Amino acid sequence: MNHDGKKESLENENLEIRMLLEAIHQKYGYNFKDYANAHTKRRLRHRLNISNMKNYAQMMHRVIYDETFFNNLLLDLSINVTEMFRDPGFYKKIRQEIIPLLKTYAFIKVWHAGCSAGQEVYSMSILLEEEKIKHRSQIYATDFNELILEKAKNGIYPLEVMKTYTGNYQQSGGKKDFSDYYTADYHNVILRQSLKEKVLFSSHNLVTDGVFGEMNLILCRNVLIYFNRQLQNRVLKLFHDSLCPGGYLCLGSKESLKFTDMEDRFEPIAGQEKIYRKKR
């Protein structure tokens, strides 16, 4: 194929991918349209090859009519980017403003919804430990991607990300030396076993599965961003029903309750950090 031919075939492929992502958004509410990047393309190509389809137009047809196929594709596409103490200012706020209130409770239940490979969960475990309330806490950590949940349970991360995690921890008001929390070999760090105590990992799909009872704190950060308004409303209702009165809901930095059905049922506690409290 000459240069022009190659260019045209690439453009056609991109067009088909955009149409496929549009179909997914319209039919199921998941929005990957802003992620029509190299990662998405690689995952779609992989699925195309193993499914013996000729092109994305065929895949689009299959997505529309075959929900099981869509669910597998969804796992391929789901974006798992995460960090320990991601957005350090958020963790600082939790430490300074939410923990003192949680300390007044006899027992504390925390739910990480869409926990990815567990970094957010272990960050919370460290925080609760340092604030001396972990012994009376229970952390539930869920994701719909079984493979990523396995990684979360292992708590083993590449050595090269530790610099970022350490910086985040320090900025978030961490009280110790971050290296107290792991052992390292040449390539990886293994988080201390004690950080896994009080953590229960389980599979849970926010769109199709039910409530978790009487939570004091729910973190669902950088997940709703991929859902359309209808799905967001459904998931936010689930969080509302899962929280005890006065419980806290934390969203990602680009997410908000504004213009959702739940806007009036929560009061904003920290606007910038996206921390909300369920009204009594």
Ligand X SMILES: C[S@@+](CC[C@H](N)C(=O)[O-])C[C@H]1O[C@@H](n2cnc3c(N)ncnc32)[C@H](O)[C@@H]1O
Q: Which residues bind ligand X (CB under 6 A)?
A: 78-82, 86, 114-116, 120, 143-145, 148, 205-207, 221-223, 252
Q: 81 or 106: whose CB is closer to ligand X?
A: 81
* Cβ-Cβ contacts under 8 Å for 19 (sequence gap 6 or more): 56, 57, 60
Instruction: Tokens for 244, please give them.
Output: 């005890």
* Residue 70 Cα distances to 4, 38, 120, 198, 225, angstroms: 34, 20, 28, 34, 19
C-beta closer to ligand X: residue 1 or 121: 121
Between 6 and 254, name the residue whose CB sits nearer to ligand X. Answer: 254
Distance in angstroms (rounded) separating the CA atoms of residues 228 and 231? 5
Distance, CA of 23 to CA of 19 (rounded, Å): 6
Tokens 């110790």 label which residue? 176
Judged by CB, which is closer to ligand X: 122, or 181?
Answer: 122
Q: What token pair was written down for 29? A: 């509410």
> Closest approach of Cβ 54 to ligand X, in Å?
29
Q: How far is the CB of 115 from ligand X (least distance, A)?
A: 6
CA distance 197 to 137: 10
CA nearest neighbour of 61 among 97, 122, 19, 33: 19
Question: Do 137 and 99 meet the contact criterion of CB atoms below 8 Å apart?
Answer: no
Q: CB nearer to ligand X: give 86 or 134.
A: 86
* Residues linked to residue 105 through DSSP beta bridges, in sequence order: none
Smallest gap from residue 252 Cβ to ligand X (A): 6
Within the chain, how many helices (H) and strands (E) appear?
A: 10, 10
- Whichever of 119 and 216 has its CB closer to ligand X, that residue is 119
CA 256, 241, 101 angle in degrees (round to 5)? Answer: 70
CB of 9 to ligand X, least distance (A): 32
Backbone phi, psi, residue 212, to 5°: -110, 130
Q: Are 186 and 80 in contact (CB under 8 A)?
A: no
* Minimum distance of ligand X from residue 158's CB (angstroms): 16
Identify which of residues 126 and 132 has a Cβ nearer to ligand X in the complex: 126
Minimum Å gap between C-beta 195 and ligand X is: 16
Closer to ligand X by Cβ: residue 120 or 273: 120
- Provide, rounded to whole angstroms, the least separation between the CB of residue 102 and ligand X: 20
Residue 149's identity, in one-letter code, is L
As measured in angstroms, the least distance from the Cβ of 130 to ligand X is 20
